[in-house]
Amino acid sequence: MEPKLDGNAAAGTLQEIFPFDMTLAQATCAGCGATDVIGALAVYMHGMGTVVRCPSCDTVLIRMAQTKGRYFLDMRGVLVLQIGTEA
Ligand SMILES: [Zn+2]
Protein backbone atom coordinates (compact mmCIF):
# COMPACT_ATOMS: atom_id res chain seq x y z
CA MET A 1 0.00 0.00 0.00
CA GLU A 2 1.43 3.34 -1.03
CA PRO A 3 1.57 6.13 1.50
CA LYS A 4 -1.49 8.37 1.42
CA LEU A 5 -0.78 12.02 0.70
CA ASP A 6 -3.03 15.01 0.20
CA GLY A 7 -3.85 16.70 -3.08
CA ASN A 8 -1.06 19.20 -2.74
CA ALA A 9 1.32 16.33 -3.45
CA ALA A 10 -0.17 16.03 -6.93
CA ALA A 11 0.05 19.78 -7.51
CA GLY A 12 3.52 19.65 -9.03
CA THR A 13 2.48 17.38 -11.87
CA LEU A 14 -0.88 19.12 -12.34
CA GLN A 15 0.89 22.45 -12.47
CA GLU A 16 2.95 21.23 -15.41
CA ILE A 17 -0.25 20.39 -17.31
CA PHE A 18 -2.74 23.09 -16.32
CA PRO A 19 -2.04 26.83 -16.39
CA PHE A 20 -3.93 27.54 -13.17
CA ASP A 21 -3.67 26.50 -9.52
CA MET A 22 -5.18 23.03 -9.56
CA THR A 23 -5.04 22.65 -5.79
CA LEU A 24 -7.83 25.26 -5.66
CA ALA A 25 -9.88 23.69 -8.45
CA GLN A 26 -12.88 21.69 -7.23
CA ALA A 27 -13.63 18.18 -8.43
CA THR A 28 -17.04 16.54 -8.15
CA CYS A 29 -16.82 12.79 -7.62
CA ALA A 30 -18.66 10.68 -10.21
CA GLY A 31 -19.13 8.00 -7.57
CA CYS A 32 -20.79 9.86 -4.69
CA GLY A 33 -21.23 13.44 -5.87
CA ALA A 34 -18.99 14.95 -3.20
CA THR A 35 -17.20 18.12 -4.24
CA ASP A 36 -13.77 18.90 -2.80
CA VAL A 37 -10.84 21.08 -3.74
CA ILE A 38 -8.09 19.02 -5.35
CA GLY A 39 -5.79 20.00 -2.49
CA ALA A 40 -8.04 18.13 -0.05
CA LEU A 41 -8.27 14.87 -2.00
CA ALA A 42 -6.44 11.67 -1.16
CA VAL A 43 -3.37 11.14 -3.34
CA TYR A 44 -1.29 8.01 -3.79
CA MET A 45 2.00 8.28 -5.65
CA HIS A 46 3.85 5.23 -6.89
CA GLY A 47 6.04 4.07 -9.73
CA MET A 48 3.24 3.97 -12.28
CA GLY A 49 2.16 7.51 -11.59
CA THR A 50 -0.23 9.35 -9.34
CA VAL A 51 -3.73 8.33 -8.31
CA VAL A 52 -6.16 10.85 -6.80
CA ARG A 53 -9.06 9.34 -4.88
CA CYS A 54 -12.28 10.69 -3.40
CA PRO A 55 -11.86 11.01 0.40
CA SER A 56 -15.54 10.13 0.88
CA CYS A 57 -16.05 6.99 -1.24
CA ASP A 58 -12.54 6.10 -2.49
CA THR A 59 -13.51 6.36 -6.18
CA VAL A 60 -10.49 7.02 -8.40
CA LEU A 61 -10.96 10.58 -9.63
CA ILE A 62 -7.75 11.22 -11.53
CA ARG A 63 -4.92 9.00 -12.73
CA MET A 64 -1.78 10.70 -13.98
CA ALA A 65 1.27 9.19 -15.56
CA GLN A 66 4.18 10.74 -17.38
CA THR A 67 6.41 8.89 -19.76
CA LYS A 68 8.67 9.95 -22.61
CA GLY A 69 7.59 13.58 -22.55
CA ARG A 70 3.89 12.72 -22.66
CA TYR A 71 1.29 13.04 -19.93
CA PHE A 72 -1.53 10.56 -19.57
CA LEU A 73 -4.49 11.95 -17.69
CA ASP A 74 -7.46 9.74 -16.88
CA MET A 75 -10.20 11.85 -15.30
CA ARG A 76 -13.20 9.57 -15.70
CA GLY A 77 -13.97 9.76 -11.98
CA VAL A 78 -14.45 13.53 -12.13
CA LEU A 79 -18.02 14.49 -12.97
CA VAL A 80 -17.37 18.24 -12.92
CA LEU A 81 -14.14 20.17 -12.60
CA GLN A 82 -14.62 23.73 -11.33
CA ILE A 83 -11.78 26.13 -11.94
CA GLY A 84 -11.78 29.55 -10.34
CA THR A 85 -10.86 32.46 -12.54
CA GLU A 86 -9.62 34.55 -9.60
CA ALA A 87 -5.99 34.08 -8.65
ZN1 LIG B 1 -16.82 10.01 -3.93
Distance 68 CA to ligand 1 centre (A): 32
Chain segment 10-42, per-residue pLDDT in tens: 777 888 888 888 888 999 999 999 999 998 999
Distance 46 CA to ligand 1 centre (A): 21
Half-sphere exposure of 68 (CA within 13 A, CB side): 0
Distance 54 CA to ligand 1 centre (A): 5
Chain segment 57-78, per-residue pLDDT in tens: 999 999 999 888 899 999 999 9
pLDDT band, residue 1 (cuts 50/70/90): low
Determine phi and psi for 76, rounding to 5 degrees: -65, -20
Closest residue by Cα to residue 81 from 12, 17, 24? 24
**Cα 12 to Cα 26, 79, 81, 87, distances in angstroms:** 17, 22, 18, 17
